[in-house]
Structure 1
Amino acid sequence: MSYVDGFVIPVPLGRLDDYLRLARRAGEIWKEYGALEYVECVGDDLRPGERASFSQNVELEPGETVIFAWVRYASREDRNRILEQVMNDPRLADMVDHAKLPFDVERLFWGGFMERIRL
């Protein structure tokens, strides 16, 4: 089964177009190195839950939305190889300077997941 990196990212609505441009460029590079799928989704129904929700977990502020994104790989080994290549790609050097990114890196959360069911 495949391996997935998942991301939840708070993005100011005023910077959403900047974020999506950056994400498109990043996604093209991820795919170039072998990622099977690169998906970015913009929040649409983000009502706070009683205990937890995406908006609560990223401490969503007024004027922000949540991005839910994932990158799918053939295996964890492929993910490790591809991620190293992506992180060293000079075309994404501007992503290293967190002050220039169109979102708050401190509130982003992510994780790696082994796929178990695909229908």
Structure 2
Amino acid sequence: MSYVDGFVAAVPTANRQAFIEHARQAAMVFKEYGALKVVECWGDDVPEGEVTSFPMAVQRGPDETVVFSWLVWPSREVRNQAMPRLMEDARLSPEVHPMPFDGQRLIYGGFEMVVNE
């Protein structure tokens, strides 16, 4: 079954278009290395929580929007083979392709897909 990398970040709301352009460029590179699908979602209805929430998790500021993203890979093995090459690809380096958000507050993880209806 497929493997998914998931991400949550806080992006300055003023950087929406820069984020979209950044995501489109990065998606092309991820697909070259085997990703099947790249999905980037701009927060529209992301409530503050009292105990936990997306905004709390990424320490969202008042001028930021939460984004929720995921990459679908054919397998964990394909993803694991791609990651070292992706990290070395100059097209994704911060000097060439700066992230329009604070990467230190990016939350990410790999997930085994168990239901895909």
Looking at structure 2, the residues matched to 18 and 43 of structure 1 have their Cα atoms a distance apart, in angstroms, of 15
Aligned residues: 117
Q: Out of 50-59 and 69-78, give the one that drifted further.
A: 50-59
Q: 1:50 Cα shift?
A: 2.7
Q: Letter of the aligned partner of 1:88 in structure 2? A: E
Given the two structures, how large is their TM-score scaled by the length of structure 1?
Answer: 0.90
- Aligned residues: percent identity? 46
Name which of 108, 111, 114 aligns with 2:109. 111
95 and 45 in structure 1: CA distance in 2 versus 1, 3 angstrom threshold = farther
Say whether the 8 Å CA contact 1:4–1:73 is kept in structure 2. yes
Say whether the 8 Å CA contact 2:90–2:96 is kept in structure 1. no
SS at match of 2:68: strand
SS at match of 2:114: coil
Say whether the 8 Å CA contact 1:95–1:101 is kept in structure 2. no
SS at match of 2:93: helix
How big is each residue's C-alpha offset from its partner over 1:69-103, in whole Å with a ceiling of 9 and x where there is no partner? 00011111100112222211121223688xx4311
Which stretches of structure 1, 4 residues or more, deviate above 6 A after TM superposition?
Answer: none
- Which residue number in structure 2 is paired with residue 13 of structure 1? 13
SS at match of 2:52: coil
Q: 1:28 Cα shift?
A: 0.7
List runs of 5+ in structure 2 lacking aligned partners: none
Looking at structure 2, the residues matched to 8 and 94 of structure 1 have their Cα atoms a distance apart, in angstroms, of 19
Q: Letter of the aligned partner of 2:114 in structure 1? A: R
SS at match of 2:27: helix
55 and 96 in structure 1: CA distance in 2 versus 1, 3 angstrom threshold = farther
1:20-31 counterparts in 2 under 5 A? Answer: 20-31=20-31
SS at match of 1:94: coil
14 and 93 in structure 1: CA distance in 2 versus 1, 3 angstrom threshold = same
